[in-house]
Every structure is written in structure tokens, then in C-alpha cells.
């Protein structure tokens, strides 16, 4: 058991160090922070989605923007495409591949930011939604895992967590999302 614990913690630390020492990823995070801040300044919004645990991460991100993260501030417009009635209706009527694309069609405008989470990089419903977002003139950001899958290189911005372990990928995704929120708060409150 001790080895299992040490291995899990060790891989997480290794992935975190990899991110910390990868200038391109750090530049991407800063660029997304600045883009999202500008989006909010221009009365735009962020829409985020993913499957399974990635949906939970999307919901967590949205609630910390609409609610509170580190500082008391104005609520920021963030939508996680996670409503069960919407998802099941859309899946039933159009197919599960379309659930997020329909949400993007309903909510996204030119200049908004759309974030897709996929630990494999191969989620068809995430791909279709990001494609729809690009057609609407929105900016796109992907948080991916493994080798990035078919989504690698598709979005305006991306970070690929090079691991085969879904849990470790999701941990890094959530950390990146938290850093983005902290950066947005800093820019909005301090300029």
C-alpha cells in the first residue's frame, strides 16, 4: 500500500514539475488568463464542458467564477454544460455526440471563450462542440491528456498532460483551471 501511495504522489509531483518547467505551457496559461479577463471586460462569457470527472472539473471551475474563489468580487459569467435535463434531452434527441455542441450553439457568441476538457483528447462530443465554437467566432482552449488525441493542435490554446493515468491528468487540469481563476481575479482586481 505504501508503494501505491508513493507512486501516485510521485507521478503527480513529476507531472506538476513537467508543467512548471515547460515554458510553452506557462505561456499558454498566461495567454488564457489575459484572454478570459479581456472577454469578461467586454461582457463576454466562458463556457466549459467535459465528460465524467472532467464535467465535475468544469462545474467546479464555473462555480468559482460565478461564486467566489480567493477574493470577494463581482460574479463572472461562466457556464458549465452540465444540466442533467438538457444533457439527457439532447442525447436522446440528437445523440450523445451532440450534447455539448447544442449547448455551444445556444450560449456562445463571437469573442467568448470555450474550454473543452478531455483526458484522452478523443471525446467526439468535446470535438464537435469546439468545432461549433470556432464556427461561432469564439476562442477555444483544450485541456487534454495522454498524447492529446485527435484534439491536439485543434484549439487556439491547449495543454496536454503527458500521462496515461486519468486521475493524474484530471489533477493537473484542475490545478491549471485554479491558476487561471487566480490570474483572472488578480487582473480584474489589481489591473
Work out the mean pLDDT of the chain and round it to a whole number.
97
Per-residue HEC secondary structure of 78-100 comes to EEECCCHHHHHHHHHHHCHHHHH
56: left (phi over 0), alpha (psi -120 to 50) or beta: alpha
Full DSSP string of 138-162: -EEEEEEETT-GGGTTTSSEEEEE-
Residues 6+ apart with CB under 8 A from 141: 32, 113, 114, 115, 116, 155, 156, 157, 158
pLDDT of 114 above 90: yes
- Taking only the tens place, the pLDDT of each residue in 19-45 is 999 999 999 999 999 999 999 999 999
pLDDT of 190 above 90: no
- Taking only the tens place, the pLDDT of each residue in 6-21 is 999 999 999 999 999 9
CA 65 to chain centre: 13
Any bridge partners for residue 158, and if so which?
A: 142
Class of domain 2-190 as given by CATH: alpha beta
What percent of the chain is modeled with pLDDT above 90? 98
pLDDT of 191 above 80: no
In 3D, which of 142, 134, 129 has the Cα closest to residue 173?
Answer: 142
> How far, in Å, CA of 128 to CA of 94, rounded?
13
Residue with cell 464535467: 55
- Taking only the tens place, the pLDDT of each residue in 118-149 is 999 999 999 999 999 999 999 999 999 999 99
In 3D, which of 69, 73, 60, 18 has the Cα closest to residue 188?
Answer: 73
Q: Go through the chain and tell me how many residues it has.
A: 191
Per-residue b/e over 54-86, b at no fewer than 16 CB within 10 Å? Answer: bbebbbebbebbeeebeeeeeebbbbbbbeeee
Angle at the Cα of 37 from the Cα atoms of 68 and 66, rounded to 5 degrees: 25
pLDDT value at position 68? 92
Amino acid at each position: 500500500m505504501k508503494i501505491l501511495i508513493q507512486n501516485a504522489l510521485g507521478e503527480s509531483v513529476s507531472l506538476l514539475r513537467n508543467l512548471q518547467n515547460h515554458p510553452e505551457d506557462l505561456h499558454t496559461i498566461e495567454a488564457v488568463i489575459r484572454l478570459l479577463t479581456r472577454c469578461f471586460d467586454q461582457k463576454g462569457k466562458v463556457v466549459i464542458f467535459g465528460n465524467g470527472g472532467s464535467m465535475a472539473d468544469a462545474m467546479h471551475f464555473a462555480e468559482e467564477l460565478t461564486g467566489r474563489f480567493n477574493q470577494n468580487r463581482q460574479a463572472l459569467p461562466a457556464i458549465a454544460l452540465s444540466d442533467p435535463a438538457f444533457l439527457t434531452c439532447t442525447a436522446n434527441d440528437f445523440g450523445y455526440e451532440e450534447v455539448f455542441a447544442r449547448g455551444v450553439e445556444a450560449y456562445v457568441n463571437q469573442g467568448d471563450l470555450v474550454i473543452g476538457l478531455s483526458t484522452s483528447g478523443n471525446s467526439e462530443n468535446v470535438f464537435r462542440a469546439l468545432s461549433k465554437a470556432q464556427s461561432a467566432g469564439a476562442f477555444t482552449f483544450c485541456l487534454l491528456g495522454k498524447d492529446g488525441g485527435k484534439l491536439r493542435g485543434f484549439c487556439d490554446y491547449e495543454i496536454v498532460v503527458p500521462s496515461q493515468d486519468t486521475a493524474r491528468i484530471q489533477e493537473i487540469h484542475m490545478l491549471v483551471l485554479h491558476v487561471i481563476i487566480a490570474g483572472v481575479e488578480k487582473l480584474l482586481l489589481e489591473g
